[in-house]
Amino acid sequence: MAEGDHDWTGTGSSPVYHGGDLAQVRARFPNAPEPWIDLSTGIAPVPHPLPVIPAEAWTRLPEASDVVDLEAVAAIAFDVHDPAMVAATPGTQALIQTLPRLLAGTRVGILGFTYQEHARVWREAGRDVEIVDRPADLARFDIGLIVNPNNPDGRLVPPATLAALAFDMGAAGRKLIVDEAFVDVMGQGASLAPRLPLGGAIVLRSFGKTWGLAGIRLGFALADPTVAAAVRTAFGPWAVSGPAIAVGRAALSDRAWLEECVTRLSLEAARLDGLLAAAGCRILGGTPLFRLVHHPDGERFGDALANTGIHIRRFPHDSRLFRFGIPGEDAQWRRLEEALHGVTPR
């Protein structure tokens, strides 16, 4: 592979490609204006307000009861009837990397194309990974994995379909992992969580994306209490920091803020669609937190935006694909509109 190329499948020796790599983009486009606008990550542009964090959250190790309280708040937020089914972790990525140590089985099926880290961690754990096209295809694997809604195209498999699949896989001693990192912005009825415990289902929930606080590093595993307990044991004591516990409890309890956030993001996603379509992009899908588009003149389009200080998610396997996050303040929207106008097909 040439320098700067990345392996989409995760099978080669090059690093798995992610958004958020702003330092690398700055180095490649040193003359771009500052500050950069980073639209590559799919993180909510308006974060939940930080609560007052007690001094002891910084100076003392978290008590086990603090984590229990956080998991109880998360159970209510995610509509899980038993807090024992909720295990708090230091971010969903850390959980993704831990699951191969907890789950047996040699054959892993992943509904693709999707977030690359899933295939990478299972392959590095020595498992046989296959990318499949239909949810039903996952039933023949020891472990099935679905990102729902999918990153980057927003594909959403109905929870009823997932529930039936999880039941069948569980009856055969198999596991179905459902990564719901972006489900909180999809409205009621999109999540599998309220149906738990269910067969072999394990649901992963992110915190940083919807609540716009990715740096806090907080995530959750939702599963049968036995599996949730195994996740807690794998991470050991004090896995979640005191500040993360304080922030998570406050944000997850704030239902009014979440409803307002989802409404705002839905309107802004529609606004973004209009700008992108006018710039010659074809909207392929997405969620209220990001849009996946196709542009026929991909390399020129992406470089033109980078030269204006706007960073978007690229896909090395297809230079015509781009994922756009949602801009934040009005100044960012104006800059994006001007930049897109400058690359609009004549």
Q: Domain residues of the chain, as ranges?
A: 22-42+257-342, 61-253
Give the helix ranges, DSSP H, for 236-320: 242-252, 255-278, 298-307
CATH class, range 61-253: alpha beta
Same fold for the pair 22-42+257-342 and 61-253: no
Residue 340 has pLDDT above 90, yes or no: yes
pLDDT confidence of residue 1? 25
112 close to 131: Cβ distance less than 8 angstroms? yes
What is the number of helices (H) and of strands (E) in the chain? 11, 13
* CATH architecture of the region 22-42+257-342: Alpha-Beta Complex (3.90)
Tokens standing for 157?
Answer: 């498999």
Residue 201 has pLDDT above 60, yes or no: yes
Mean pLDDT, range 115-143, rounded to an integer: 97
Tens-place pLDDT, residues 233-255: 999 999 999 999 999 999 999 99
Residue 10 has pLDDT above 90, yes or no: no
Confidence tier at 20 by pLDDT (50, 70, 90): confident
Phi, psi of 334 (to 5 degrees): -65, -45
Low-confidence winner among 12-26, 113-127, 180-194, 287-301 (lowest mean pLDDT): 12-26
